[in-house]
Chain A
């Protein structure tokens, strides 16, 4: 009579037990990365504990098998950065490229959860699965009969690399009117003051719309001349001043003015604003090449309204006075 007894003995050798709840967590699983490993498990046997041996292999986690050393792995500079449960461990002699010995003066240990965080470990250089063979010993140098043991597995992986492009842009337009924040709606480029009068101020306005994803924002400047008729000019306001009817002067600003009533304050979700005196309500100036608006960061839509005022003295020479102004926006990427 033959009785066959079949049993599955999971990596168990006589006398020691399997360490339960074993895990290894790697902070960075990229090949060749220098990173931290956290090894956790439950001690299966209460008793004297002096050392823990972790052997890293490519072939299997079976403690009694020959070990194939993982290429590129380097544990020799490992440090213990944190430990819980049974503590007091430091890197022990015998630690090398693929074997880590945690050592302490042998002391009584409870069967309890423990964890050890190890820094300055260089990952294997080839992606794939790797194994760790854990053993505990009563001795401080991983010698003698092991107390318990267990296996671990971890994987070295390629990172997911993602690339996106955000193309640079500068949106800028001008017109007599611009509806909402749509450059397509910009209309008109000609201002007619009509007949000047020494008694009243002539006014007009145009609008500028700007937006950019330049990280350092934008500058808006302008070029041109004051109102000119042949050799005669209406003097520009080289310093900011109020409107003075009966005094020949020509100036602009980017404010919502009451005297005279012309213009609007800048509007829209974008950043930036008028500078260099062009932001002063009821004060105007005209200095070609001045920067009159600026943002130091990206800007969503920002709409500026340019107010123009012209006054003439009674002795201002007759003529048709004209000026051509060019607004320039520059993005600072």
Chain B
């Protein structure tokens, strides 16, 4: 009887021990064999990878392996490896991000591991095979450049507790992600101010020297007008506030004493300029000297200024020699503002902004009267381009 009793007690103890052993092993079996799985298609996209960048957004995406109702999450950053259960080497803000200001919409965020990671709790869906995205804002990147790792753990609702990736407890899904910070590539480009303005006859560098009159004798006539369209210009600038071209000089002049054409100089004679408005040169026998500027085809809002605007033909396709057409020419040689004898000159061209390289022309025209004094008439006109940058 005693032996029977001892045998029963031994059996009860053995059974009790077995129950205790089973109870102790169940958590291990549940994690390793029945529910734990690795999330797939894992990634974390940083809005900037610059070291020490603040307010960075880490967009964390993965595909759940299981379905869980309102799970908890841990996103833990370590510098040594992404393996759940390994010790985690991390100094927030130095070799891993500082998550102290991190936030995820719809979740309660709690930092873990001295701000190296976060725990998320809240109502959310977590369905096997349906990609899950956690947008973590307010992250400060590590100051070091190089690789660091994120360990993602998914727990049953309320299961995250005080766990970390190094001491993960019972989780349902997990995964690791590698990230890296890198110095920005800074590119500096310089675009310096440009103004190219060339007045020429055949090509830039050939000074325009024009004969206005009969092609053989160079003489003007009281019976026909003459034009010369051989002065060209090329203008280009990147000035954002535009460019103006001013002209200085006199009308055609036969110099007087001391070779001067200054108004009032003894024995100086001029051919009266066509001002203040442009006009046709269809009345030979009356003194006229004028010019028009061709801006045809420019793509930069480059425009001629009155009285150098030929409203009839745009000063375009004019030739050299006698002329009886309808183009309009003008030349303001006043000594007051706006005139070619004023210190600031007379505005010929303008554009409100940058000018793409354009080649146009200036055409000059003249008529004389019976009383136009005999002699050789000349002028030297200086064109000045001024850009405002």
Contact = CB atoms under 8 A, between A and B. Distances in A.
Given A2-B49, A23-B386, A166 B207 contact: no
Contacts of B231: 160
B196 interface: yes
Interface in A186-223: 211, 213-215
A165 B220 contact: yes
Contacts of B124: none
Nearest to A7: B187
Interface in A262-304: 297-301
B114 interface: no
A159 interface: yes
B380 A153 contact: no
Interface stretch (A27-35, A66-74, A233-241, A322-330): A27-35
A29 B188 contact: no
A251 interface: no
B387 interface: yes
A258 interface: no
B4 interface: no
Contacts, number: 224
Nearest to B206: A158
B128 interface: no
B207 A159 contact: yes
A7 B45 contact: no
Interface stretch (B28-36, B70-78, B95-103, B197-205): B197-205
A22 B53 CA distance: 37
A316 B48 CA distance: 130
B86 interface: no
Contacts of B210: 160-163
Contact of B384 (A26, A152, A167): A26
B348 to A, nearest CB: 11
Nearest to B267: A215
Nearest to B228: A162
Interface of B: 45-46, 48-50, 179-180, 182, 184-200, 205-213, 217-220, 226, 228, 231, 237, 239, 241, 246, 248-249, 252, 254, 267, 269, 271, 343-345, 362, 364, 366, 368-389
19 contacts: A2-B182, A8-B188, A8-B189, A25-B344, A25-B384, A29-B382, A61-B193, A129-B196, A152-B193, A154-B386, A155-B198, A157-B384, A162-B211, A162-B380, A163-B209, A165-B217, A166-B373, A167-B219, A215-B374
